[in-house]
Homo-oligomer: A and B are copies of this chain.
Amino acid sequence: MPLEGRTKQDVLSEFRCAEILTAARGVFARKGFQAATMDDIAGAAGVGKGTLYLYYRSKRDIYLASLEHGLRALSALTAAEVAAAARIEDKIRAFVLTKVRYFDEQRDFYRIYHAEFGNVVAHPSCLPDELMALYLQQVQQLEQAIQQAVDRGEIRPVQAGTVAFAIFEITRGIITQRLLDRTGSRAEDDGAFIVDLIWKGIGNR
């Protein structure tokens, strides 16, 4: 049956794609985009170098695919958690904790994510607009929530953008510290610290 045969191939193909992507993520995390070679990735994936080009057009393609994969998952997760929280304080807590927890699980991805977006300023690295938008969306959602809270008088009249940015940055700092740290504090504690700090800074009382 042609349809069934087609599907079988598709499944196999998707499996290979994912296999390569996982291997690539590890290599990119360890070495960075430049230093990672296609031979490295092929070796890690357990396939020949030529095979990579059956599934992806270029090294950059694989890199972007692994970046996008993680970013979409993170973005969707964060958006859902934030939306589910009612009060602004809980939204902030959800934002911070979701991110801290996600990166706790996805350390390879964090290294790629951080290397790429930590450097947006440094050398604006011609990312597809779509990815860049996905990245910026994270702060924007938070900003909107904060602005809303200001409008409703739930918190002091702060610059929503700046506060959102500050939360975003401290969160990254905490995650970075967790990756470096061997003591292994709990994600909840680190998250609580930020929320506490920010809340004292912007809360109404």
A173 to chain B, nearest CB (A): 3
One complex includes copies of this chain to the number of: 2
Are B179 and A173 closer than 8 Å at their CB atoms? no
The listed residue (B29, B35, B159, B169) touching A172 by CB distance below 8 A is B169
A138 to chain B, nearest CB (A): 14
Name which residue of chain B comes closest to A116, CB basis.
B122
Judge whether A85 is part of the interface by a CB distance below 8 angstroms. no
- List B contacts of A35 (CB < 8 A): 123
A48 to chain B, nearest CB (A): 26
Name which residue of chain B comes closest to A177, CB basis.
B165
- List B contacts of A179 (CB < 8 A): 121
Within 8 A of B (CB), among A108-128: 110-112, 114-115, 118-123
Judge whether A30 is part of the interface by a CB distance below 8 angstroms. yes
Name which residue of chain B comes closest to A123, CB basis.
B32
Judge whether A131 is part of the interface by a CB distance below 8 angstroms. no
Are B121 and A111 closer than 8 Å at their CB atoms? yes
Are B32 and A122 closer than 8 Å at their CB atoms? yes
6 additional A-B residue pairs with CB within 8 Å, beyond A30-B123, A170-B173, A197-B202? A115-B123, A159-B193, A165-B173, A166-B174, A169-B169, A201-B201
